[in-house]
Amino acid sequence: MYDPDKRKIFSALCHGAIFFSTLFMSVGIPIAMLFIANDPVVLENAKESINFHLNVWIYGIIITALLWLTFGLLFPLVFLGYALHWGLTIWAIASVLTKPDQPFRYPFIFRVI
């Protein structure tokens, strides 16, 4: 039997790590969870969080390229990107805290791991 409080904290930490930094350091928390956690739900949440990090970086590169190509005309995409990024992360944290026995799955992302 797995401790539900640890499961909630570790799962929320995996998803919330993206708020710590938009640099590559924030992905270190879910990667570390892959090595230290033995709870299958926490492991699934860590994998999903890593996939979300990768997607955020890829979409950030695409939005930046579009901004350069259009001389900033598509600047509202930045706000849309951040709204989706923050909104999905808050949704993930709320989900793992209210349903700790079920891993969260982000919609519309590419899963590499």
Residue 23: per-residue pLDDT: 67
pLDDT digit string, tens, across residues 3-51: 999 999 999 999 999 998 766 789 999 999 999 999 999 999 999 999 9
Confidence of residue 103 (pLDDT cuts 50, 70, 90): very high
Summarize pLDDT for 53-92 with one digit per residue, the tens.
999 999 999 999 999 999 999 999 899 999 999 999 999 9
Residue 21 confidence (pLDDT): 74
Residue 25: predicted pLDDT: 82
pLDDT at residue 1 in the model = 81
Q: What is the 3-state secondary structure (H, E, C) of the chain?
A: CCCHHHHHHHHHHHHHHHHCCCCHHHHHHHHHHHHHCCCHHHHHHHHHHHHHHHHHHHHHHHHHHHHHHCCCCCCHHHHHHHHHHHHHHHHHHHHHHHCCCCCCCCCCCCCCC
